[in-house]
A and B are shown apart, each in its own frame.
Chain A
Amino acid sequence: MTTPQEENFMRKISAEEKIEPKDWMPDAYRKNLIRQISQHAHSEVIGMQPEGNWLTRAPSLRRKAILLSKIQDEAGHGLYLYSACETLGISRSEMIEQLQSGAAKYSSIFNYPTLTWADVGAIGWLVDGAAIVNQVSLQRTSYGPYSRGMIRICKEESFHQRQGYEAMLALAKGSEGQKAMAQDALNRFYWPALMMFGPHDSESAHSQKSMEWKIKRETNDDLRQKFVDQTVKQIEVLGLEHPDKNIKWNEERGHYDSSDLNWDEFWSVINGNGHCNRQRVEHHVAAHDEGEWVRDAITAYNEKKRAKNAQHAA
């Protein structure tokens, strides 16, 4: 039995109208959105760590300024997404608690370590590249605040991928050693970047409902295929070897065929056993705790100001 509210909600969804914060929505739609948007926000924030690892060791002032700007953007993107999520009735502190307790997830790509400077280039190019494929699709998500956040983020994100590719290009056209470093970074980040799109559609717990409600607009496998296709040419221009020996153009499908992923690794990292899972969360907890005096100072300053104003008014 569908209620008039549910009917009205589904009418908006099928008419491609956005759902806005004060509209009635099914509980499961709200929960699903909170899970996805908060996971997305956490990824932006945790994603600052692997790149931050190279800030003090960037090879030039120019690269350092660029990297700093990119990391600053990620913090901003986290903020847009947390704010969008808060319109669904969850508080910022609840979300942070869920991240720190492990109840909420973030993209498992950030549990891989950044071993060399080339990894920073590979992340911008491949990881942000994969994120863009996903986010371009999410600009058409059915929830208004999420959609608007995605539009803003996509506008800012193009620079992230281009700076990464430019850094990779510099290494790939550099000395033998630099080229080998670029190849190694590509080999290590290519597969986890493909895993960012999530499990196969048939294995994805949330996919079907999310597609029905138009929270997600394209399936994990379709988005992954887009990324595989666009990356072939980019690897070729770098003059590097494709990490997937089975990559082959399929005329009939109009897409590249590729190897299946190591799903054992995927599930193992998601379930907490990647190289850096513990370190990432511990670092977040420490940064949050160490920042407490700043939050306290803001509150103390506000109280002082209020008292002063009250005195003036009296």
Chain B
Amino acid sequence: MAMAPPRKGENYELRQQLNSEYRDKRADAIKRVIANHTIGKDCSGLFPDVVKNMQTDDLEQKKLVYLYLMNYAKTQPELVILAVNTFVKDTADPNPLVRALAIRTMSILRAEKILDYLASPLSRCLKDENPYVRKTAALCVAKVFDLKPELCVEYGFVETLRDLIGDGNPMVVANAVAALADIYEASQNLPPTPPASPGRSSSPPPSSKPNSELFIIDPPTLTKLLVALNECSEWGRIAILNTLARYKALDEKESEHICERVMPQFQHVNAAVVLGAVKVIMIHMKAVTREDLIKSLTRKMAPPLVTLISSPPEVQWVALRNINLLLQKRPDILANEMRVFFCKYNDPPYVKVEKLDIMVRLASEKNVDTLLGELKEYASEVDVDFVRKAVRAVGQVAIKIDEAAERCVSVLMELIETRVSYVVQEAVIVIKDIFRKYPHSYEGIIPTLCSNLEELDEPEAKASLIWIIGEYAEKIENADELLGTFLETFKEESYPVQLQTLTAIVKLFLKKPDESQAIVQRVLQAATKDCDSADVRDRAYIYWRLLSSDPAAAKSVVLAIRPPISLPQTTVPPAILEELLSEVSSLASVYHKPAATFIGKGRLGAEEMQRRALEPEEDNAREKALQTVVAGQQAENLLDFDSDDIEPTSANSSSQNQSLSMFGNSSSASGHVGAGISSATLSNVAKSSNPLDELMDLFSTASMTTPQNQPQPIAPQSAFSGIQGLQDSTPSLNNDNTAPTRQQQQPHDAFAGLTGLSSPPQTLGSGSTSPNPPQQQQKQGGGGAQDDLLGLF
């Protein structure tokens, strides 16, 4: 050895042992090397000594040496060549286990040099008489493709793989399918045009770029796959099901055939097989028109889904997230199964929260009493987060089922009586939503709510109660007194509470002008002078001008009738729902977010997004705004892309949360409203801080629309905690037609704000100069991605 290695230390000792004449000692030393490697010690220095032990009859020792090679081949590319001879010899060993082991290891050494020696053993092994070797070799092709695609093309490995689909052995078929699918995906990830370079270092030169025709599934292949599906191991079935999901059926009959053949897999014990089968059926069922078949498919789908709820918690959670998606598409599949979703006391919190969500989805007039009983029970549990969600669920049920609203309200009143602080606060927030849905129905409970005034210390709960007081000011005798208490602490309150106090007092004034002249003066003074929030100040100024110039207009704006809220059936836009349903059981379906938003090819994705955003530049401005919204829907979280290391959400998760929730709503609104542009402007209105600017935006500035919309796509990782329609509706109280805040908005509300505003635009227009600067600032503070995108326009 050229460099004299140190003569002591552990590595020296190991080296001595590795070269020992005794077999046991050498075997022991190899084990110690592996142990050292596992705990992170660098053992690359021992490379030549370990490789010397490669030639042995002891299979276990051989495996360990191979394991060592896998880990260090990359660091010692020149030395790997030492091992090549043994490898090539082993691939022709009479023992099939050794042959398979050798080819398996050789193909993942990731050293260019060794690849050249790999080709001929690999083609031999692909045609080995032993299926075990063949199935191992099949995967090796995928490994080689990962490193050097042109090699696969050159030697025709991909064609051989295709031949292997017709192999007699199901395991070989399964692995061939898995390998082909992997190669197919890898080739998809290669850039569409030569100049663009992907992030992967090992990318091949474009000339050898294999096209997507690498893995075409034709009808004969389909038949082979369907046959193998029933014979191979559970993991193989998953691979085949994934491939079937990609297959485009020629006609309806073929779709039916696939569904019928896949259906028996529902009975498999492996949850991944069951969900894989659900996926394939959801995809191919779209083409099926035969009523009875659809019925039988959905009927047979339900029991296995329910059975998944008895799996270990993690699998259960995956199943629950997917069931949640399936219910958005087919709300009726589990209609009679609500009881299974009752939370067990010892379920992990993430499972409980999902079950709650599903229970609300399954709630109907028939089962609502049982459900409310359960929810009440949950509200007495210890986990604060879960208790709050249970209380929220009560409100959601009230809004979903008109007939049950009264019962829900009485449950909420019972909960308020427990006087547990967070329960009371949550209940108040929920009751505010109920008032939005059923105005003037349950006024009798207002006194009880007001008596809990001192209990409230969270901004959202306070703001909710203040909204209620303002809304029903004419019916609450001491409304001015109650609002007065909030006014006293006006300066210390958070902005949402300030905004609500302001609006509520103005409402009070409009309803009872005689008694509240003084208090409205005070609040306007306080808000315009002492407040450091531009939103609050601006809103106060608007009210002030409105009240002083045209009280009638003020009334029509501030006291306009708000459209009732409803529980959205879907939490994701229809297009994304379809996409997610075709990926059932994948990570995307668990997160309820398209895969492009969270996986590795982030930067590429971002470019793609930018490209898409740029395309409609020639089109007129409105179209452009619309396009951007759509693009935003498809890539919820642009921001995530650039953060590779640590959780990006923690810093500004709250604002992200809000923007996400808003996103969910606005997109569903776009479906309802129909006219795309209105959704763009709606969310726009909702987003910006100043109603005057919104008006401007409405009429002209599409270039501003775009950046304003962009923050929507910032989706936090925490998004999987569930985008619940109602939970987001909380801010609805923030805009009493005039001044939507930048916090969060429901589109309905935004719409209400819009109609309200459009009547007195002239009056408002006059005051539009001063509020502009703050809004500009806000835009710039919005985040890096925003800046990037701003540059685009």
Q: Tell me whether A and B are bound partners.
A: no
Interface residues of B (CB under 8 A from A): none
Interface residues of A (CB under 8 A from B): none
